[in-house]
Amino acid sequence: MINKRKLFSVNYAIVDYESASDTIIDNAKENNSFGVSALAVHGLIESVKDQNLNTLVNKIDMVVPDGQPIRWALNNFFKVGLKDRVYGPTLTKYVLEKANRDKLKVYLYGSTESTLTRFNNFINANYPSVEIVGIHIDRFREATPEEDLEDIKKINDSGAQIVLVGRGCPRQERWVANHLGKVNAAMMAVGAAFDFHAGTVKQAPPWMQKRGLEWLFRLIQEPKRLWKRYLTTNSYFIYLFLLYKLGIRKSEA
């Protein structure tokens, strides 16, 4: 049983890199249909605002606290003693390391052809015992029912034990939730891990990550695309935090 706490409206797993990756690998070995999301502030706020998305996110078996503000809030409200966040790109490396040890089969779903090629090369170079059994380039639209059935068949027929899903938040969370019980693998919504490990997008330096300033680094890189997201989601996160802290809304265990 995964220990969880509800932050605002999302059930977060109280895990670290080791326990989260062990749980993923255990389910992967059994070909269990198991969903994982690394959900930071943006995804949390989207889930708060969209009830349909919220329902889907809470169907996912293990939602890990991706952002430092998520970790701080969970520690503040529930005294759970999380020593670090569980950052999607880093969790991906933990999982790939253990998948390499156990010679597991991995399927890559989402992103562009160039990013997938580079990410595939990254895995082959660093985790040579991992078998990449399929690569799916994102359509950048939702699949038709017929296409979806074909995608599911391809993944299951490949023998994949882990499906890394990089479709961007919240599209990837919707995909994972909607494929529980259909795809016989551990499905991980890890988004930016594809681009970071492919080398197509730069990561914030460690000192910014530790201080919860990764959003600022990304904003400087892509101001036109991200300014509105961070202005609204960061402000709303602070607003909700204060409502709960002041007791205007009640936290749930």
pLDDT, residue 44, reads 97
Beta-strand pair 4-7/10-13: antiparallel
Confidence of residue 252 (pLDDT cuts 50, 70, 90): low
Count each helix (H run) and each strand (E run) in the chain, helices first. Answer: 12, 8
Burial of 208 (C-beta count, 10 Å sphere; 0-12/13-18/19+): middle
* Lowest mean pLDDT, pick from 91-95, 153-157, 246-250: 246-250
- Tens of pLDDT, residue by residue over 35-70, are 999 999 999 999 999 999 999 999 999 999 999 999
To the question of pTM greater than 0.85 for the whole model, the response is yes
Checking if the pLDDT of 194 tops 90, the result is yes
Q: 163, 154, 176, 98: which is closest to 130 by C-alpha? A: 98
> What is the average per-residue pLDDT within 2-12?
97
Taking only the tens place, the pLDDT of each residue in 68-110 is 999 999 999 999 999 999 999 999 999 999 999 999 999 999 9
Please report which confidence band the pLDDT of residue 229 belongs to, taking 50, 70 and 90 as the band edges.
Answer: confident
Q: Which domains does the chain have, with CATH numbers?
A: 4-197 (3.40.50), 202-235 (no CATH)
- Are 38 and 57 within 8 A, CB to CB? no
- Among the residue ranges 39-43, 131-135, 219-223, the one predicted with the least confidence is 219-223
